[in-house]
Chain A
Amino acid sequence: MAPPNQRRSSYSRRAQYNVFTGYILAGLGALVGAVLLGLSFFQPNLFGWARSGANDAVTPAAETTATVRSGTRSLWESITGYYRAGSKNAELEREMDIARIRLAEARAIEQENRRLKALIGLQDASSKPVALARLIGSTASSTRRFAYVGAGRSNGVKIGMPVRSPRGVVGRILEVGANSARVLLLTDSESVLPVRRAKDEVVAFAEGRGDGLLRIRLINLGINPLEPGDVFVTSGAGGYYRPGIAVAILTEKTDDGGLARLISDPAATDFVAIEPIFEPEAAIAVETPIERELEN
């Protein structure tokens, strides 16, 4: 394309100054950007108010698109459901039969659990979710994995609360606005979650890798007992998450643990529940550095 002729600023002083001022402003803009970036490296939540305010503003529109998104997805699912419907149906019925039996067994175990807990005087605090909200979107173009939910301070949501879908853990509340909140997804590379293997007491940390997978890091090193297909649930350590919520399935074994896939993929999640922090005192104790604890 032809170059614009306004670059040739001619003999006009005014035009020359305009071009010069443009360059100065652009340089200043870059400089301010660098300063802001440096500030937010040391204080990540310094500009949280601006972000959450902006997200409050776009939440209504984002909720609408999220509704359309889940609508089109379920339409596609019902179309693909017709593909080999007969054999799928037979298989599902078989699975259903087995699942019914397992469910009956699980009820019996639950009953026994309740009896045993009553015996040792453990109070099972029922955790009612603080809010139910739609997962309205995520920072889909950034390396960091954040999502937004359509509930905020006005619904009683606070920083640190766990977010879960019907399938399992989604993440943790990081920033709260009036009507929206930012969620740190499990796959973010800054997310660490204490987990245990569902079938026994092998404890580990599930760390996000930033590429959609979780890295399972065993706490007790030695012979790696993990097998692909192992299901991991929250262990309740750290005090944020209630124990026993599904997190991930192991897909690959490595030296110190393995790689796992999320059970509750945010892309397939529509509504999420924001739950209260499981043990607030424990969570605060973990957050407090030892030096400050000694001072008090």
Chain B
Amino acid sequence: MERMNPRSRSDAYGSRINRSHSPSLAYSVPWLSIMLGSLFPLFLIAIAMPMVPPVGLLMLLGWRLVRPGLLPVWAGFPLGLFDDLFNGQPFGFAVLAWSLALIAIEFIELRFPWRSFWQDWFTAGILLIGYLFSGWLLSGATPTGSSLAALGPQVVFTVLLFPLFARFVARLDQFRLTRRKRIA
């Protein structure tokens, strides 16, 4: 007798027999990964000029654009509040900026329901540049030309890194929905 394809009863998230998604994992992974992203620049290096991209915001935009409908519109408030504890900007900056970014994406989605990845990258790029630029403007210090010039490499890094983070978020999404064993 011909053997059945061993993977015929499984999909991208694993076998479907006696296995099911873990609700705690499915709900917590997006939020936890964004919060870890907020912490990441703190751990990386103590450096004399801003170089590291705002990883928390990159993760947030990644989840919002790669997996629409998962994060609620108001997610910018709690996540921004956490980011504000570590980002070095005046307190409240990330709350405002992240909330506005999510509202902006909501309106873009209303206008363009079907998008390609390039459009998403464009959206994220505009939002990231706006975030970094307003961060320079509202840093609590006097905005100077030289600190604006120092922003250049960071802006380029950040915009170029978005596709990488989108891929990473896609992997995390797969991990989030993996079927765990359930004996019942």
Interface residues of A (CB under 8 A from B): 1-4, 6-7, 22-23, 25-30, 32-41, 44, 46-47, 50-51, 54-55, 58, 61-62, 65-66, 69, 135-148, 185, 187-190, 209-213, 262, 265-267, 269
Contact = CB atoms under 8 A, between A and B. Distances in A.
B97 to A, nearest CB: 7
From B91, B135, B138, B142, name the one whose CB has the most chain A CB atoms within 10 angstroms.
Answer: B91
Given A33-B80, A209-B146, A266-B46, A139 B41 contact: yes
B51 interface: yes
B90 interface: yes
A27 B45 CA distance: 35
Given A141-B54, A267-B46, A267-B47, A4 B69 contact: yes
B91 A50 contact: yes
A41 B146 CA distance: 22
A140 B52 contact: yes
A219 B51 CA distance: 32
Contacts of B106: 23, 26
A211 B92 contact: no
B122 interface: no
B48 A139 contact: no
Interface stretch (B6-14, B25-33, B108-116, B174-182): B108-116
B17 interface: no
A6 B68 CA distance: 10
B165 interface: no
Nearest to B116: A1
A7 B106 CA distance: 10
Contacts of B139: 142-144, 189
Contacts of A26: 72-74, 76-77, 99, 102-103, 106
Contacts, number: 218
Given A41-B90, A146-B88, A210-B150, A140 B50 contact: yes
A37 B73 contact: no
B53 interface: yes
14 contacts: A3-B109, A22-B72, A33-B77, A54-B85, A62-B43, A139-B87, A140-B52, A142-B88, A143-B89, A143-B150, A188-B141, A212-B47, A212-B49, A266-B48
B149 interface: yes
Closest 6 CB pairs of A and B: A36-B92, A139-B88, A210-B147, A4-B69, A29-B77, A33-B96
Given A30-B96, A143-B139, A137 B103 contact: no
A36 to B, nearest CB: 3
Contacts of B52: 140-141
A37 B33 CA distance: 25
